[in-house]
Amino acid sequence: MERDPLVCVMGEDVGHYGGSYKVTKGLATKYGDLRVLDTPIAENSFTGMGIGAAMTGLRPIVEGMNMGFLLLAYNQISNNCGMLHYTSGGQFKIPIVIRGPGGVGRQLGAEHSQRLESYFQSIPGIQMVACSTPYNAKGLMKAAIRSDNPVILFEHVLLYNLKERIPDEEYVLSLEEAEMVRPGEHVTILTYSRMRYHVMQAAKTLVNKGYDPEVIDIRSLKPFDLYTIGNSVKKTHRVLIVEECMRTGGIGASLTAAINENFHDYLDAPIVCLSSQDVPTPYAGTLEEWTVVQPGQIVTAVEQLCK
Amino acid sequence: MSAAFPSVRAVCRPGSFAGEKRGPPPAAASGKLASGFLGSAWKLRFGALPARRRGSSSVVVAVSDVVKEKKPKRSSSSSSDLLITKEEGLELYEDMVLGRTFEDMCAQMYYRGKMFGFVHLYNGQEAVSTGFIKLLKQEDCVVSHYRDHVHALSKGVSARAVMSELFGKTTGCCRGQGGSMHMFSKEHNLLGGFAFIGEGIPIATGAAFTSKYRREVLKEADCDHVTVAFFGDGTCNNGQFYECLNMAALWKLPIVFVVENNLWAIGMSHLRATSDPQIWKKGPAFGMPGVHVDGMDVLKVREVAKEAIGRARRGEGPTLVECETYRFRGHSLADPDELRDPAEKAHYAARDPIVALKKYILESNLASEAELKAIDKKIDEIIEDAVEFADASPIPPRSQLLENVFADPKGFGIGPDGRYRCEDPKFTEGTAHV
């Protein structure tokens, strides 16, 4: 925001409150109430307003207090955000960033625990990224703001308390590249967002058992970085996808199709996809735990895959 | 009459500026269907304007009676009494004739198989488009909906560009990618062209927000760009309308909300869809003035528009203007238009805005019949030229399919070979598998 006066933030409670997860804390004091705009509770309209502002020269960042609320903005995100650059014949660009916390939290109930990556992924004209560490959160956010394309940045409710040393100097990550988390030889595990941590936890167990998994955080949910992924598949010949998204029509489903299409010859076994259950997230702690993929399941899946 | 309606003073006003007497109220628009529940249509047209209130909050409810006071007497020859100068009169006339002739040509071209899909024509509503848009500067923004050809023309998009767009050619204003319902022009600040009603209103609110942002954050002190959002009566029952009225009034955005109330949303009469059909009343509920104006009278619309646009430019905030107007044709070229009462159609046909303006110009001696005919001829030539141009223009090639999906084509991602897909020169002829 300091670098470019056209960058502004809009959303519910982003200003005086500092954001429901304190992401925008202190910004309103520094930049004023118009640049960090507290909106009324009207997601569809203020997202549309952000899109109109983007079309006329600003670079807004729209926050969904919880990603689930952005379902109310689906009209604007699908029709206007995704489409207008195309239907205007390239005349208007929409450099907007739509971000917010999503995913399954700690017993927040079904509506606050939604996994919306799959819902948005088919919209033509948008890019989707998911951050998972403080380092890539900052880099991806900068890249998203600087990009002339509309970007949906998926944050996760449970990852806001992570602490990490990050470089002082400015850095910007690529929106389209995946991140190699742990190089390995036996199996390629593709994951993103919070599941990365479950995967790394399972990886510890797997290493103790003698396996050498390669873990890639795909980061770019749309489009997929088929180069990094492809190179990995060509090396290990086995793929496991671990995601928090639902099984039906999810990111994993698309990724399975993409890998099968492009790297079929390199696979020694069918791709295994571990997704969360196709249920509305239950409130009860135990049920909620069984909804998402747990490290134990990942270990079992790798063992099966590597037989 | 129906007890379901609020009590209304039926004020019978003495006709339009051209001196025409309005006929007696026709049978209710939904005559065959009228019941105590549905009420009747004529009450809406002929009454429902409360006396002007002053002094209470900053909200002022203006009425088009105010405009009437400025109306010249018919026999006056003093030009200072007239509402418009000769140049303005001819400009308004030309713009309305352009709109009408263009739309009539669209109908012809559609039935000849030159354009396809859903085409929504604006015949009869020209006074609203001309009345508002001719007061705007190029930097001011206009947001419309699917009935947008004439908004585009009034804003300055060339007839050639609009016609080519309708024919789906690359020379169209949106390269043939938008079509009838998605007219855009960056040069003329026409922000669309939307197929879903209501979804353009937040876009307009955003454009107004940018104007305010430029003035207050970027300190461009002379930025006084105004945005005008056009939409219909059906949209006024949609959530986005209300959400944006709230935000615009809250932040005093420089925007004018113009309701083109033509009483029908496809086959749904406004009265059957709306609990309180007086849309202008919804403005004060949000803290902005609500104005009702005769949308068949371009001079009345222009007077109201001057005030509303002036308010926005001065930073006083938004206005809601309800223009009572009518579309002479069906909702779209595919609409058989069976539900509307012929008497209602005849009533509004008699109030044709172009005929009325012509009469006014001639009776006020602003211009001669010959000058107006010259304009008619000029417009005919422009439209013919537009059709020829569109006919001769090339259709989009296969390589155009994937262009413009992303402003930054890196958004198509990195392919298996490690290069960005867009770096492959033959990429746009391929497929967008990601």
Give residue-wise pLDDT tens across range A181-211. 999 999 999 999 999 999 999 999 999 999 9
Does A165 reside within a domain? no
Of the three residues A120, A141, A156, the one that is the final residue of a domain is: A156
* Structural domain count of chain A: 2
CB distance from B178 to chain A under 8 Å? yes
Give the CATH number, domain containing residue A97.
Answer: 3.40.50.970
Mean of pLDDT values over A15-33: 91
Q: Quick one: A252 and A299 in the same domain?
A: yes
Does A131 reside within a domain? yes
Summary mean pLDDT of chain B: 83
**Which contiguous run of DSSP H or E holds residue B260?**
strand B255-261
Nearest-CA distance A59 → chain B (Å): 10
- State the pLDDT at residue A151: 96
Q: Quick one: A150 and A193 in the same domain?
A: no
Mean of pLDDT values over B55-84: 46
Count of residues in chain B: 434
Q: Quick one: A210 and A125 in the same domain?
A: no
Does A167 reside within a domain? no
Please report the DSSP string for A24-63 in residue order: TTTHHHHH-TTTEEEPPS-HHHHHHHHHHHHHTT-EEEEE
B133 beta partners: none
> Which residue in B195, B206, B246 is closest to A53 by CB distance?
B206
User: Greatest CA separation found in chain B?
Assistant: 81
> Which residue in A42, A222, A228 is closest to B434 by CB distance?
A222
In chain B, the percentage of residues whose pLDDT exceeds 70 is 80
Q: Quick one: A116 and A237 in the same domain?
A: no
Question: Which chain A positions have a beta carbon within 8 Å of B205's beta carbon?
Answer: 45, 48-49, 52
pLDDT at B1 over 90: no
Q: Quick one: A105 and A18 in the same domain?
A: yes
Question: Which chain B positions have a beta carbon within 8 Å of A34's beta carbon?
Answer: 212-213, 216-217
> Closest residue of B to A144, CA-based?
B411
Q: Quick one: A295 and A191 in the same domain?
A: yes
Does A229 reside within a domain? yes
| CA–CA separation, B93 and B391 (whole Å) | 28
Does A110 reside within a domain? yes
Q: Quick one: A183 and A150 in the same domain?
A: no
CB distance from B146 to chain A under 8 Å? no
Does A231 reside within a domain? yes
Q: Quick one: A119 and A60 in the same domain?
A: yes
For A229-287, the pLDDT digits (tens) are 999 999 999 999 999 999 999 999 999 999 999 999 999 999 999 999 999 999 999 99
Does A137 reside within a domain? yes
pLDDT at B398 over 50: yes
Whether a cis peptide bond, with omega within 30° of 0, leads into A26 is no
> Which residue in B176, B199, B207 is closest to A56 by CB distance?
B207
Mean of pLDDT values over B144-166: 96
- State the pLDDT at residue B432: 62
Label residue B39 by pLDDT band (50, 70, 90). Answer: very low
Question: Which chain B positions have a beta carbon within 8 Å of A93's beta carbon?
Answer: 407
Q: Quick one: A108 and A246 in the same domain?
A: no
8 A C-beta contact, residue B279 and residue B322: yes
Does A29 reside within a domain? yes
| CA–CA separation, B156 and B162 (whole Å) | 10
Question: Which chain A positions have a beta carbon within 8 Å of B211's beta carbon?
Answer: 56
**Residue A116, class by beta-carbon neighbours within 10 Å (0-12 exposed, 13-18 middle, 19+ buried)?**
buried
Q: Quick one: A131 and A189 in the same domain?
A: no
Lowest mean pLDDT among A17-21, A98-102, B244-248: A17-21
| CA–CA separation, B297 and B356 (whole Å) | 7
Label residue B334 by pLDDT band (50, 70, 90). Answer: confident
Label residue B399 by pLDDT band (50, 70, 90). Answer: confident
B319 beta partners: B256
To the nearest 5 percent, what fractions of chain A are helix, strand and coil?
Answer: 40, 20, 45
| CA–CA separation, A219 and A117 (whole Å) | 12
Mean of pLDDT values over B25-31: 38
pLDDT at B24 over 80: no
pLDDT at B38 over 70: no
Across the interface, do B202 and A48 touch by the CB < 8 Å criterion? yes
Q: What is the CA radius of gyration of chain B?
A: 23
pLDDT at B29 over 90: no
Q: Output DSSP code: residue B77.
A: -
- State the pLDDT at residue B81: 64
Across the interface, do B176 and A124 touch by the CB < 8 Å criterion? no
- State the pLDDT at residue B42: 35
Range of the domain at A74: 7-156
Tell whether ipTM is more than 0.90.
yes
Q: Looking up tokens 């300190």, which residue turns up?
A: B219
- State the pLDDT at residue B426: 79
Q: What is the CA radius of gyration of chain A?
A: 19
B401-413 burial, b for 16+ CB within 10 Å, e for fewer? ebbbbbbbbbbbb
| Nearby residues of B433 by Cβ (< 8 Å), 6 or more positions away | A258, A261
Across the interface, do B206 and A48 touch by the CB < 8 Å criterion? yes
Active-site residue list of A: 43, 112
| Nearby residues of B264 by Cβ (< 8 Å), 6 or more positions away | B233, B270, B327, B331, B339, B340
Of the three residues A86, A121, A156, the one that is the final residue of a domain is: A156
Q: Quick one: A247 and A147 in the same domain?
A: no
- State the pLDDT at residue B336: 87
Please report the DSSP string for A114-163 in residue order: ---HHHHTT-TT-EEEE--SHHHHHHHHHHHHH-SS-EEEEEEGGGTT--
Label residue A30 by pLDDT band (50, 70, 90). Answer: very high
> Which residue in A39, A50, A125 is closest to B405 by CB distance?
A125
> Which amino acid, residue A196?
R
Q: Quick one: A265 and A188 in the same domain?
A: yes
For A117-158, the pLDDT digits (tens) are 999 999 999 999 999 999 999 999 999 999 999 999 999 999
Give the CATH number, domain containing residue A250.
Answer: 3.40.50.920
- State the pLDDT at residue B177: 95
Beta strand B255-261 pairing with B264-265: unpaired
For A40-82, the pLDDT digits (tens) are 999 999 999 999 999 999 999 999 999 999 999 999 999 999 9
Q: Which two tokens stand for residue B72?
A: 């010249």
> Closest residue of B to A80, CA-based?
B199
Label residue A220 by pLDDT band (50, 70, 90). Answer: very high
